[in-house]
């Protein structure tokens, strides 16, 4: 039979556990307070270095609180060891000893449970706040791109001519001398051939200086009769200024058939301009000269802004100059394999960028090529 111990001997061992508890408890005591009290957050400071978030500190405090609980109340704790010794306490003292143990146990377990509940609550609140999604906030609308103003106008021109029975031809931007000049009846000594006006590649090709080149390709490929337009880039050695850019856009038109006359040219251009600028638009032709047409004419249309009375856009003349045109020169037809005895045709060419600048009232054509979204966005 083991020696009996009385309560006097037992009590100091209970007190020792309590003392150990009190020492470590110090750090956790703030968390008995409601989590929204400022002291609660302050108490977290000892649970991690400065700079880590309150959430991290609270998680660390919770882990440590659980470890503390295991240490003080778990199966291997001093408390549980002492509990086994109660049977060695003298029968008369056993009741008091048991009460002291129960009191100690509650004294430790109750506050630790509150601490854990509060820490969990605190962590939950932070997480909820972090993940909160305000569904009433306006959304981010992804910005969609849109077509460039030159493309918008080019497509309008294409629609009009397609509805008049024209095909759309795609030319090439790098050309031989033959297509850029010779086939267009531009004599060898013509100033346009000089490198001051035309860009040449190092192996002698020309960057086309006009879309008229496509007339030749189209006639060679399709033969006559034919109706086509060819929009595209052209290049000239110009110094950029508000009305010039070394790269710009033209649209070429060509109609070849039996019995085509100047009347067809005038009717077609006038109809195109009416559809483009309104039914009231008046067209005017002025005699001119181009090597690839005979006779040749430049055409103007009545100002879409003032209707002809004179304004800033038409520089008070009431007219806007738009392009060149004429009856295709027999040499051009012949050079492209079309018999001028059987067929005749008209052609015209105009600058798309110039038309865009007019329509949108741009005072500098270079805006169209600088790709500044602050400018381009206006055409959405």
Indicate which single residue of 186, 268, 349, 355 sits in contact with ligand DAH (rule: CB under 6 A): 349
**Should residue 353 be labelled a site residue for ligand DAH when binding is judged by CB under 6 A?**
no
| Contact residue for ligand DAH among 198, 212, 281, 302 (CB under 6 A) | 212
- Of 66-74, 168-176, 237-245, 322-330, the window that binds ligand DAH (rule: CB under 6 A) is 322-330
| 54-62, 104-112, 116-124, 318-326 -> range binding ligand DAH (CB under 6 A) | 318-326
Task: Confirm or reject binding of residue 171 to ligand DAH (CB under 6 A).
Answer: no
Using the minimum distance from each CB to ligand DAH, give the nearer residue, 343 or 348.
348
Report the nearest approach of ligand DAH to the CB of residue 210 (Å). Answer: 4
Secondary structure of residue 229 in the 3-state scheme = strand
Closest CA to 337 of 185, 214, 260, 223: 223
Query: Under rule CB under 6 A, how many of the chain's residues touch ligand DAH?
Result: 11
How many CB atoms neighbour CB 110 within 10 A? 11
Q: How far is CA 3 from CA 6, 71, 100, in A?
A: 10, 29, 21
Judged by CB under 6 A, the residue of 293, 303, 322, 345 near ligand DAH is: 293
Tell which one of 69, 180, 198, 210 touches ligand DAH (CB under 6 A): 210
**Quick one: which of 305, 301, 298 has its CA closest to 319?**
301
Whole-angstrom Cα distance, residue 150 to residue 156?
A: 10
CA distances from 377 to 139, 145, 146, 154 (A): 20, 9, 8, 18
Q: Does residue 149 touch ligand DAH according to CB under 6 A?
A: no
Residue 206 or 347: which CB sits closer to ligand DAH? 347
Alpha-carbon span 38 to 29, nearest angstrom: 14
Q: Show contacts with ligand DAH in window 240-279 (CB under 6 A).
A: 252
- When asked if residue 290 is in the footprint of ligand DAH (CB under 6 A), the reply is yes
| CA within 13 Å, CB half, 132 | 9
If the CB atoms of residues 43 and 324 are measured against ligand DAH, the closer one turns out to be 324
DSSP annotation of 181: T
Spatial separation of the C-alpha atoms in residues 327 and 289, rounded to whole Å? 11
Residue located via tokens 């879309």 = 211
Helix axes 262-277, 149-163, angle to 10 degrees: 130
The residue among 295 and 307 lying less far from ligand DAH, judged by its C-beta, is 295
By beta-carbon proximity to ligand DAH, the closer residue of 101 and 251 is 251
For the beta sheet containing 293-302, the strands, ordered from the edge strand earlier in sequence to the opposite edge, are: 167-168, 226-235, 247-257, 344-351, 319-328, 293-302, 283-290
For residue 318, the minimal CB distance to ligand DAH (Å) is: 23
DSSP-derived 3-state class of residue 322: strand
- Least distance CB 293 / ligand DAH (angstroms): 4
Is position 40 an interface residue for ligand DAH (rule: CB under 6 A)? no
Minimum separation from the CB atom of position 299 to ligand DAH (A): 10
- Of 28-36, 153-161, 335-343, 346-354, the window that binds ligand DAH (rule: CB under 6 A) is 346-354
Region for residue 223 given its phi and psi (left: phi exceeds 0; alpha: psi -120 to 50; beta: otherwise)? left
**Which residue of 35, 171, 232, 324 would you call a contact of ligand DAH, by CB under 6 A?**
324
Residue numbers at the binding site for ligand DAH (CB under 6 A): 210, 212, 252, 290, 293, 324-326, 347-349
């Amino acid at each position: 039979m083991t020696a009996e111990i009385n309560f006097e001997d037992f009590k100091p061992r209970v007190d020792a556990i309590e003392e150990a508890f009190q020492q470590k408890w110090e750090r956790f005591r703030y968390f008995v307070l409601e989590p929204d009290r400022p002291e609660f957050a302050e108490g977290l400071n000892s649970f991690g270095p400065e700079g880590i978030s309150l959430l991290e500190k609270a998680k660390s405090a919770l882990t440590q609180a659980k470890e503390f609980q295991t240490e003080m109340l778990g199966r291997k704790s001093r408390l549980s060891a002492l509990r086994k010794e109660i049977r060695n306490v003298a029968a008369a003292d056993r009741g008091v000893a048991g009460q002291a143990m129960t009191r100690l146990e509650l004294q430790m377990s109750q506050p630790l449970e509150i601490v854990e509940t509060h820490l969990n609550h605190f962590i939950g609140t932070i997480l909820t706040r972090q993940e909160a999604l305000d569904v009433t906030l306006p959304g981010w609308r992804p910005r969609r791109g849109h077509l460039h103003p030159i493309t918008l106008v080019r497509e309008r021109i294409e629609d009009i001519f397609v509805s008049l029975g024209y095909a759309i031809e795609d030319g090439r931007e790098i050309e031989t001398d033959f297509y850029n000049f010779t086939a267009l009846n531009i004599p060898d000594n013509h100033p346009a051939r000089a490198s001051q006006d035309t860009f040449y590649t190092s192996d002698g090709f020309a960057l086309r200086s006009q879309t008229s080149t496509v007339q030749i390709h189209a006639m060679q490929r399709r033969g006559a009769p034919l109706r086509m337009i060819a929009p595209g880039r052209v290049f000239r050695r110009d110094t950029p200024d508000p009305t010039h850019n070394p790269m710009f856009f033209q649209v070429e038109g060509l109609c070849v058939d039996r019995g085509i006359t100047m009347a067809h040219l005038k009717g077609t251009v006038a109809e195109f301009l009416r559809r483009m600028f309104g039914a009231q638009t008046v067209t005017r032709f002025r005699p001119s000269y181009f090597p690839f047409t005979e006779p040749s004419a430049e055409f103007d249309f009545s100002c879409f802004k003032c209707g002809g009375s004179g304004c800033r856009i038409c520089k008070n003349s009431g007219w806007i100059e738009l392009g060149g045109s004429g009856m295709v020169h027999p040499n051009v037809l012949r050079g492209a394999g079309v018999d001028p005895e059987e067929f005749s045709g008209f052609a015209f060419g105009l600058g798309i960028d110039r038309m865009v600048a007019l329509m949108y009232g741009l005072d500098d054509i270079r805006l169209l090529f600088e790709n500044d979204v602050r400018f381009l966005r206006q055409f959405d």
